[in-house]
């Protein structure tokens, strides 16, 4: 799969390869890293956890770290994840990698971890506590890019339906803010309806089906990922003309898009953060434990699929999964170097 974003970010990696026998691996061989994850109820989160297990499992087998255990809370609740983090501190983990339920709500628990000498690296759902590290894409720009794309495809503008993600999570707020900024700047569109799809196909389908009867004609659907196929199913059931639905890199979305493209030339784009960002967060934590100087804020590009890369992207995405990039230690070194 052609992933231009990763190639750009990692362009400096070649000169930074770690040679066998150097001290980097030995320095963290006895370190234990935990993943604290607030939610696993959609395909992106499942892919994120599989990437974590695959990459960290190999790192443990290779003796690069002693453990890399993953923990997911039963509910997307700040209090539950805060208690989980406190428990991981008591269990003596050297670093905690967090996909957070709230940017501010976990700051107390994160500060407790830092005060106890635990390295904290947040990703995707980041935290604002200054002692922690943060890895994110520019989610606001991602949302804005959706509208800019639609402005090119639909120069006459029109009505849009917005499908949001998980309420109260930083990612949802940031993408939505970018969408609304893009609408204001282009002056071509009006958002006539908004629902929460929780980044899940089934939830999005029900939410869209519920709001459609009250909506006028819509020309586009702006999304956050995991919701495009559900929206398409709901709209198809009404007999309405199919609008341009921005997709979110899930296999079911890409499959539907290709079917429509082959049948009638349907054209759209797809964008999301790669689930494998969890593996980047793991290696960043390992590098911090190794004593390396790592900037507090790291930005990685989002993964975009366009009409001409659809087939390759779909062929390299597992059924039920998400188009993905997984990171190696060398990749992480390249991201860190690019941010210095």
Parse the chain into domains and list their residue ranges: 4-137+273-301+322-339, 139-272
CATH code of the region 139-272 = 3.40.50.2300
Residue indicated by tokens 């070649």: 14
Continuous segment of H or E residues that includes residue 222:
strand 220-222
Q: Is the dihedral of CA 271, 275, 277, 281 positive or negative?
A: positive
DSSP structure class, residue 322:
B
Query: Given this model, what pLDDT does residue 235 score?
Result: 98
CA distance 26 to 320: 37
pLDDT tens, the chain, 340 aa long: 334 444 444 433 333 333 333 334 448 999 999 999 998 888 899 999 999 999 999 999 999 999 999 999 988 899 999 999 999 999 999 999 999 998 899 999 999 999 999 999 999 999 999 999 999 889 999 999 999 999 999 999 999 999 999 888 888 999 999 999 999 999 999 999 999 999 999 999 999 999 999 999 999 999 998 899 999 999 999 989 999 999 999 999 999 999 999 999 999 999 999 999 999 999 999 999 999 999 999 999 899 999 999 999 999 999 988 999 999 999 999 999 998 8
Query: Given this model, what pLDDT does residue 137 score?
Result: 85
DSSP structure class, residue 121:
E
| Domain 4-137+273-301+322-339 shares a fold with domain 139-272 | yes
How many helices (H) and strands (E) are present in the chain, helices listed first? 13, 12
Evaluate whether 246 touches 228 at the Cβ level (below 8 Å).
yes
For residue 76 the two structure tokens come to 């997307």
Query: Given this model, what pLDDT does residue 136 score?
Result: 86
330 in helix, strand or coil? helix
Residue indicated by tokens 């507090």: 296
Q: Which fold has domain 4-137+273-301+322-339?
A: Rossmann fold (3.40.50)
Evaluate whether 224 touches 217 at the Cβ level (below 8 Å).
no
Q: What is the pTM of this model?
A: 0.81
CA distance 222 to 259: 20
Work out the angle between the directed axes of helices 201-211 and 228-236 (0-180°, nearest 10). Answer: 40
Compute the CA torsion angle 194, 44, 139, 276 (nearest 10 deg): 180
Q: How many CB atoms lie within 10 A of CB 145?
A: 19
Query: Given this model, what pLDDT does residue 23 score?
Result: 38
């Amino acid at each position: 799969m052609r992933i231009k974003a990763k190639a750009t970010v990692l362009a400096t990696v070649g000169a930074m390869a770690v040679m066998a026998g150097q001290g980097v691996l030995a320095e963290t061989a006895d370190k234990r890293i935990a993943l604290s994850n607030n939610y696993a109820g959609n395909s992106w989160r499942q892919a994120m956890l599989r990437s974590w297990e695959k990459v960290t499992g190999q790192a443990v087998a290779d003796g690069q770290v002693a453990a890399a255990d993953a923990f997911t809370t039963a509910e997307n609740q700040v209090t539950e994840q805060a208690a989980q983090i406190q428990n991981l501190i008591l269990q003596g983990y050297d670093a905690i990698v967090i996909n957070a339920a709230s940017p501010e709500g976990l700051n107390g628990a994160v500060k407790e971890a830092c005060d106890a000498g635990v390295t904290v690296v947040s990703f995707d759902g980041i935290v604002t506590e200054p002692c922690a590290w943060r890895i994110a894409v520019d989610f606001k720009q991602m949302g804005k890019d959706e509208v800019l794309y639609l402005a090119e495809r639909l120069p006459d503008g029109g009505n849009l339906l917005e499908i949001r993600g998980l309420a109260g999570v930083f990612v949802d707020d940031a993408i939505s803010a970018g969408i609304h900024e893009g609408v204001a700047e282009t002056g071509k569109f009006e958002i006539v309806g908004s629902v929460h799809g929780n980044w899940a196909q089934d939830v999005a389908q029900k939410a869209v089906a519920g709001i459609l009867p009250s909506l006028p004609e819509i020309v586009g659907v702006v999304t956050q990922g995991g919701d495009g196929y559900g929206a398409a199913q709901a709209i198809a059931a009404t007999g309405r003309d199919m609008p341009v639905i921005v997709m979110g890199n899930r296999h079911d979305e890409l499959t539907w898009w290709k079917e429509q493209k082959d049948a009638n030339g349907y054209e759209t784009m797809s964008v999301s953060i790669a689930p494998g960002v969890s593996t980047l967060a793991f290696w960043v934590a390992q590098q911090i434990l190794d004593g390396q100087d790592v900037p507090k804020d790291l930005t990685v590009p989002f993964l975009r699929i366009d009409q001409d890369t659809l087939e390759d992207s779909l062929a390299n995405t597992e059924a039920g999964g998400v188009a993905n990039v997984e990171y190696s230690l060398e990749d992480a070194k390249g991201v860190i170097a690019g941010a210095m």
